Structure 1
Amino acid sequence: MFNQYILKIALISSSLITSVIATPLIANELAQDSDLVEQQTDEKNIDKSTKSSPEVLNVWGKRLSANEPGYTSPESLLLPSDMVGINAITTEDLVKYEPSLVIRRRFIGDANGTIGIRSANMFQTARSMVFADGVPLHYYLESRWSGAPRWTMVSASEIAQVSVLYGPFSAQYGGNAMGGVINIETEIPQEREFNADLSMFTQQAKAYDFDEDVSGYKTFVSFGDKVNNLSYYVSFNHLDNDAQPQTFRSASASGSDQQSSKTGGSAGVDSRNRDVYWYGDTGIVTSQTNNYKVKIGYQQSNWQALFNLAYEDRSSDNVGQSYIRDATGNKVYSANNEVINGTMFSFNSSGLNDSHLLRESLSLGLRLKVELSDDIELEANINQFDILKDETRTSALHPNDPAFNGNGKITDYDDSGWTTGDVTVTVSDFIIPRINLLSGIRHEDYQLNLNVYNTDDYLAGDKQNYSSSFGGETQLNAIFAQLNWSDDKRWDMTLGLRYEQFESSNGYYSEVNKAINQLELVAAPSVEYKKTSPKFTIGYYPADKWLVRYSIAKAYRFPIVEELFRQYQAYNSINESNPNLAPENGFHQNLMLNRDLDGGYVRVNLFYDQIDDAIESQSTTIIGGINDGTNLSTFVPLDKTETKGAEFIFNQANVGIDGLDLRFNMTYTHARITENSANPEWEGNVYPRMPKWRANLLSTYAINDDWNVSVNAQYASDVYARLQNDDIIDQVYGAADSYLLFGFKSQYMINDELKASVGIDNLTNELTYVAHPWPRRTVYLNLSYQL
């Protein structure tokens, strides 16, 4: 299988390069926008407290400096000197303090760590892009909680720099950049090196009747070297964690004068202010993740190549627990009009079932750069991602329920993954001096097949018959060109154009044939769209260290496989597919005012995003007939949404006193549903999961060359989680609370090779629900060795 993947990458890469060289797509962007270079880190950005941090970071991405505002898009950069103050166990931890960005990381090692940037909320996962060494980590097969980037394909311990681009203002990126793009670059060894990390963490978890300390650990080891022109790097990352229960179960409740001998649980209300009784939770989440990484780089005089292999092996388990006990103290797993403390409710143990996840993924990537002449460069990227195994086995009831007979369901991903590739050619001084051109092509092919089986033995994984099935393919081909001009004095300008052709194919979903009462697969229609997206940016430098830049762009975000073809029926909910779903149509503007400081900058961004046909899962309740009262959901576009916002960013080294570095940002967002014919009563509602205010603080003080301390904070105002804006109760499961979380970290260099750190997140032990409960006070201990 491995040889087949290598052959596939070689063939696609060869064809891409040949096709571009044979065409007149000669292009460039300013040197700051895309080069495989050796980055020279500014002396002021070297981490004072980590002697082992190299002064030269060898990465294979574009050259960046800490003050760079971004030529086409507003941009934020994280270097090792910034990362030192973050309690980072997994990759997504590193970006959680960046402006206008939120990571829904429910626990350490969460497989559903979704991302939201600017006007894209944390469930609009197809509106953000994440790359590591040019390899996509974003997951465009599914959306919402299932569409989180595959963060674990890169370890936090190997990252050299992270940049965040905001909005789709560069022609190099398609409509999936409506929110923004995260580009991660890892270090490439230039000499023999060995690294080892050991991290341990523990959390004081408490919510409803759950009250336990849960803990975990991470181990990381890597080895790399450079032999003549060949660089190689191998690493192993293991994460093992027990996390707090993620779901708390409740049943509709009413008052009663009856008496009962049973105890446990609690009466209350849910996020929509409905009377409920909280009777249990889904149990501690025990997860293990192993990541194996190989990077091989080769450099000749006029070309460079980087091969990247990442393999993920992940498993997780959780079994629910009931809070209800009988007179003898035994747990109760079902109740019919049970009364406790004057509250009547009914439930069974289907919500307390047992769940086991087994997942294996393989990602192969190849980056190639060729200097065709002094002014012309070619860069190619190709990626093959395959879900080798992704199976979730769940029981129908709690295994200890007397009514349980071993049956359940198995969810299985079959023949799913993607292939992506792009080639860009860059030219400096195109036709005349100070005009540069960036141009290229990109291909993306996604395939998803998801089957749900009934089983008589969920633990053995026996698959009997289909419960539901859906899948299909999407394909995107794009060509883009972007002209950049600067007079080297007061003005610069960018003019870009992106043409995209999208097609869905081989779509299918299951439905019951009522004549024979059997499940059948139904072919879904295909769609094809062709869209052109213009981009324009103009910058003015009114005085030394000042910059005013205005950017405007159109963007189209095409639907993903799940949004087109997902269809199922389970219990009291039905999801209907929508294979004719149109792309989201975005109009984006950004006005930036930037002032460079000695060792930093102050920046203000005013942004406006208007999205027509915004894809959302909309729901209605069926009235009458056999499905009376059933919740019917489908991906239906909101006719128009509008987001207005303002960002204030202050990043500065040596603030007030030598050794104190500060990163502070604050964002105001006004997001509304302005038109919606499917549910007109929602017009004027606040867009879900979009806080009006959010702010982040990351500060680090170097006490001396060996010791630093950091204090950080995250704030977000209260939000709605539902389009209906009817979830009005806070501090309950399902709510979307405001939060103010403080953190601390201190790191000490024991010697040139060994360093230790201690940290705390959620210092005040705040209980916060963002639908699920976020971690409470968590203490970290870390020991790192670098040779």
Structure 2
Amino acid sequence: MPISRSPLATSISLGLACCLPAHAEEADGPPAGTAGAAAMQSIVISAGSTPPAAGLPAYAIGKTQEELRQQQNIFNPEDALRNLPSLTIRKRYSGDRNALVGGRSFSTSQAPRALVLMDGYLLSNFLGRFDAPRWNMVAPEEMARIDVLHGPFSAVYPGNSIGTTIAITTSKPTAFSGSARVATQVQEYDNYGLKDRYHNYQASALIGDRLASGLWYKLMVNHQDSTSQPMQYYAVNANAAGAFPAAGSGPATPVSGVVYDTAPAGLRRAVFGANAGAIDHTRQDTVKTSLGYDFGASLSAEAFLAWWRNDSENSNASLLRDAAGNTVWSGRVSDGANVFNIPAGAFAPFLREERHLQGGFTLKTGRKTGWNGSAVLSRYKILDDTQRNAGVADPFAPAGGAGTAVQRGGTGFRSLELQARYTPVPGDWTGGGHALTFGLHASDYALRQASRSLPDWRSVAGAETQFVGGATQLLGAYAQDAWRFLPGWAATFGLRAEKWEASDGVQRFTPGPAENYAPRREHAWSPKLSLAWSAANGLDLRLSAGRGTRFATVAELFQGTQSGPAIVVSDPTLKPERSTALELRAEQRFADGSLRASAFQDDVRHTIWTQLDLTVFPNVASTQNVGRVRTRGLELAGTADRLGIRGLSLDANIGFSKSVILENAAYQPSLGKRWVRVPHVRSATTLLYAPLQSWSLAATWRYSGRQFNEINNTDINPDVYGGLSRQKQLDVRLLLRPAPGAELSVGVDNLNDYRAYQSHPFPGRTLFAEARYAF
């Protein structure tokens, strides 16, 4: 496949090849008990030598806590992912609950293709369109490492792994220990005529111990107070001739402050200010308790319980001023050139209160060889989630008035994983060459969402106007065999069978009719095959093929609602996504680094896509199937531990991908167009200078190329609000260790203050400071 490279991308990839040393040495294989141990010797592409998290295939890409602390300014847990290959993290601001993940072949608006786990417990939240993984259930302080693998190549994971699987491993105490951390950010932001300074604060503490009895415990608390830059703007587009819509008749207030620009589709646009709760002031708290007990050398149990709270105040800012300098929020206005009619609720604020609870329990054996088993049970429940929307603009809303509310209390999910694994020894009944895995999976999701009309938006007391609900269940069984059939050769065969059901779907209006959706059932078989060869000293080759089926979420099927400034149109007849993926990987290990190249293809039928229309108020998001989308690409990643200067190292990656819509009967103009929100080029290059243990200096250049937001690729002007722009960002970090256990760091994210958009604007230049003490 021909791929057009930008000069920046070409220079980075050539730099990777030139900087790595030219001699190789034999590397140690993965530890016994991991999936790769029975397959072949392999490595984690990482500056460190720590093996991958237990249960992950050995070709996962990972970083340890030490690497992350040296290389990146991490305010929220999801920041740890932003420099890993072929990943996009749609974190719009610190404290964003919609920090979605995008991968090689899927966009950040396709959250159900990213499977996120914490110690084997599901963090992915497939309960709403913008429900990102619940990063809040883990604090940066307790992340021991993070690992990522792409594609549906392991039978162990359900269909949501067809995009990317992310495994977070948290620390467990070996003795009495603890740590405390405080961090702050300051952002100067100036865009579309609004200029302000925004502050974020975070504090966390961690304490734990392992007792002689075999009991261990850990307590984590985290508090965050943060404020976003404006996230969206009220705007009106002109037609192709440049004329704005008629604004009715009657007197118009003369105003100044209207900002004109060109919208993503190339139309002239008038911008009036930040609206729809654009500025989010959020206060979040997490409390988590973890316990474990070792019954002996080969049997252990552990459990955790986490509670998260969020209170958000979402406000707005109008650009319009009358002749006396007073702010104008609504009504018929004129700037002397055009007349506009601004709805009364365009600049209405809203409040949101959330209380979430998650718990999990694991029982497992840990023999080095032979049979091992595990049982993992988890439960996630939204205790309360209430959003109250005012009906009038910010300065009038505190006095009360009519409004609406949306409540999601009682929504949640459960999961159960039972697994048996066999690790061979030479000459056993398998011939010493087969590592076996068998498992059963069960999960269910329940949606309960009520909309209310409020006489006074300051109180949630009001009549229900709409209720949507439904449930999905998934049952799966899988088997996998990693067979070392010749010296240096291994094959992994896997098969996953799944049964999915949707039920109890309902949409009820008061007053009005109720619609009850008929139950649905689907089945899927997902075969996997991987062939690995240790071709030479330090060189591994692997060819992988896999199919995966991602069923529609309960939200995609049933969550058709209006919530404040947004209307969501769901589809209870959605077909499941079916992915057929291929990957050829080559990994070369050197004495002072590593280099990996991956060529991949992902062919997905019935892609589930939610198209957002920002050109109307309220915004409309409609969910649909797209017949066939194919992605082909190439990815390079590598590390060099010594670059001729003591303490200087390199960690870099670059990925090229081309996603094309091949079939879409519902919308022919999209055929042959590029798939949405998948950039053609993504890269991250980190230079780390750590000559002494007492200090280090890191700089990271991140680049993300051109992408589209519309499936017909009509958004031709990407570098404005609503567009999907390139991202060119330089981050720097200085870490000091003045005394044992003490760390001080300062840094700047987006030092070059590059203005980037993924529909919403990303942060500008942000100063970061952190203090940490561990004992």
TM-score (norm 2): 0.88
Asked if 1:322 corresponds to 2:322, the answer is: no
Asked if 1:394 corresponds to 2:389, the answer is: yes
* CA distances 1:618-645 after superposition (whole Å, capped 9, x unpaired): 5899xxxxxx999986422111111001
> For the residues of structure 2 that align with 1:110 and 1:190, how far apart are their CA atoms?
33
Asked if 1:644 corresponds to 2:632, the answer is: yes
Note the C-alpha offset of 1:573: 8.2
Note the C-alpha offset of 1:588: 0.5
Q: Is the 8 A contact 1:133 1:185 kept in 2?
A: yes
Q: Is the 8 A contact 1:267 1:343 kept in 2?
A: no
Aligned letter for 1:80?
Q
Q: Which residue of 2 aligns with 1:78?
A: 63
Q: Which residue of 2 aligns with 1:567?
A: 560
Between 732-741 and 345-354, report the one with greater CA deviation.
345-354
Between 749-758 and 259-268, report the one with greater CA deviation.
259-268
> For the residues of structure 1 that align with 2:514 and 2:584, how far apart are their CA atoms?
50
Asked if 1:309 corresponds to 2:312, the answer is: no
Distance 1:242 1:706, change over 3 A: same
Distance 1:202 1:434, change over 3 A: same
Instruction: Find the partner of 2:230 among 242, 245, 258.
Output: 245
Aligned letter for 2:307?
Y
* CA distances 1:678-735 after superposition (whole Å, capped 9, x unpaired): 1111111110101101101122211312010000121011211121211111322101
Q: Is the 8 A contact 2:48 2:67 kept in 1?
A: no
Q: Which residue of 2 aligns with 1:553?
A: 546
Note the C-alpha offset of 1:656: 3.0
Q: Which residue of 2 aligns with 1:729?
A: 717
Instruction: Find the partner of 1:471 among 469, 472, 491.
Output: 469
Provide the identity percentage.
25
Distance 1:619 1:155, change over 3 A: closer
Asked if 1:777 corresponds to 2:765, the answer is: yes
> For the residues of structure 2 that align with 1:80 and 1:373, how far apart are their CA atoms?
26
> For the residues of structure 1 that align with 2:506 and 2:32, how far apart are their CA atoms?
45
Aligned letter for 2:337?
G
Counterpart of 2:346 in 1: which secondary structure? helix
> For the residues of structure 1 that align with 2:274 and 2:648, how far apart are their CA atoms?
44
> For the residues of structure 1 that align with 2:649 and 2:151, how far apart are their CA atoms?
27
> For the residues of structure 2 that align with 1:777 and 1:131, how far apart are their CA atoms?
31
Between 484-493 and 148-157, report the one with greater CA deviation.
484-493
Q: Which residue of 2 aligns with 1:748?
A: 736
Q: Is the 8 A contact 2:400 2:458 kept in 1?
A: no
Instruction: Find the partner of 2:378 among 383, 401, 409.
Output: 383
Note the C-alpha offset of 1:413: 0.1
* CA distances 1:531-583 after superposition (whole Å, capped 9, x unpaired): 11110000112211111110001111001001111223689986544222221
Q: Is the 8 A contact 2:253 2:322 kept in 1?
A: no
Distance 1:633 1:248, change over 3 A: closer
Note the C-alpha offset of 1:423: 1.1
Distance 1:215 1:488, change over 3 A: farther
> For the residues of structure 2 that align with 1:381 and 1:703, how far apart are their CA atoms?
43
Instruction: Find the partner of 1:152 among 131, 136, 148.
Output: 136
Structure 1: unaligned runs, 5 residues or longer: 1-28, 36-40, 48-55, 65-69, 513-517, 622-627
Instruction: Find the partner of 2:412 among 414, 417, 421.
Output: 417
Q: Is the 8 A contact 2:450 2:464 kept in 1?
A: no
Q: Is the 8 A contact 1:398 1:404 kept in 2?
A: no
> For the residues of structure 1 that align with 2:273 and 2:705, how far apart are their CA atoms?
29
Instruction: Find the partner of 2:345 among 342, 346, 350.
Output: 350
Counterpart of 1:83 in 2: which secondary structure? helix
Counterpart of 2:571 in 1: which secondary structure? coil
Between 444-453 and 427-436, report the one with greater CA deviation.
427-436
Q: Is the 8 A contact 1:563 1:577 kept in 2?
A: yes
Q: Give the aligned length.
A: 721
> For the residues of structure 1 that align with 2:357 and 2:398, how far apart are their CA atoms?
40
* CA distances 1:172-208 after superposition (whole Å, capped 9, x unpaired): 0121111110000011001111211011110011111
> For the residues of structure 2 that align with 1:78 and 1:417, how far apart are their CA atoms?
31
Asked if 1:232 corresponds to 2:217, the answer is: yes
Q: Is the 8 A contact 1:259 1:341 kept in 2?
A: no
TM-score (norm 1): 0.87
**Aligned alpha-carbon RMSD (Å):** 2.7
Aligned letter for 2:162?
M
Q: Which residue of 2 aligns with 1:14?
A: none
> For the residues of structure 1 that align with 2:167 and 2:499, how far apart are their CA atoms?
25
Counterpart of 2:66 in 1: which secondary structure? helix
> For the residues of structure 1 that align with 2:762 and 2:637, how far apart are their CA atoms?
26
Distance 1:125 1:572, change over 3 A: closer
> For the residues of structure 1 that align with 2:397 and 2:165, how far apart are their CA atoms?
51
What is the correspondence of 1:438-457 to structure 2 with a 5 Å cutoff?
Answer: 438-457=437-456
Q: Which residue of 2 aligns with 1:703?
A: 691
Instruction: Find the partner of 1:331 among 324, 327, 330.
Output: 327
Instruction: Find the partner of 1:759 among 742, 747, 762.
Output: 747
Instruction: Find the partner of 1:264 among 244, 252, 257.
Output: 257
Aligned letter for 2:539?
W
Note the C-alpha offset of 1:147: 2.5
Q: Which residue of 2 aligns with 1:515?
A: none
Q: Is the 8 A contact 1:126 1:147 kept in 2?
A: no
Q: Which residue of 1 aligns with 2:681?
A: 693
What is the correspondence of 1:167-206 to structure 2 with a 5 Å cutoff?
Answer: 167-206=151-190
> For the residues of structure 2 that align with 1:272 and 1:739, how far apart are their CA atoms?
19
Q: Which residue of 2 aligns with 1:433?
A: 432
Q: Is the 8 A contact 1:380 1:424 kept in 2?
A: yes
Q: Which residue of 1 aligns with 2:99?
A: 113
Instruction: Find the partner of 2:126 among 120, 123, 140.
Output: 140
Q: Which residue of 2 aligns with 1:363?
A: 358
* CA distances 1:333-375 after superposition (whole Å, capped 9, x unpaired): 1232x32152332212412111111111111011221257951
Q: Is the 8 A contact 2:384 2:410 kept in 1?
A: no
Q: Is the 8 A contact 1:482 1:497 kept in 2?
A: yes
Q: Which residue of 2 aligns with 1:19?
A: none
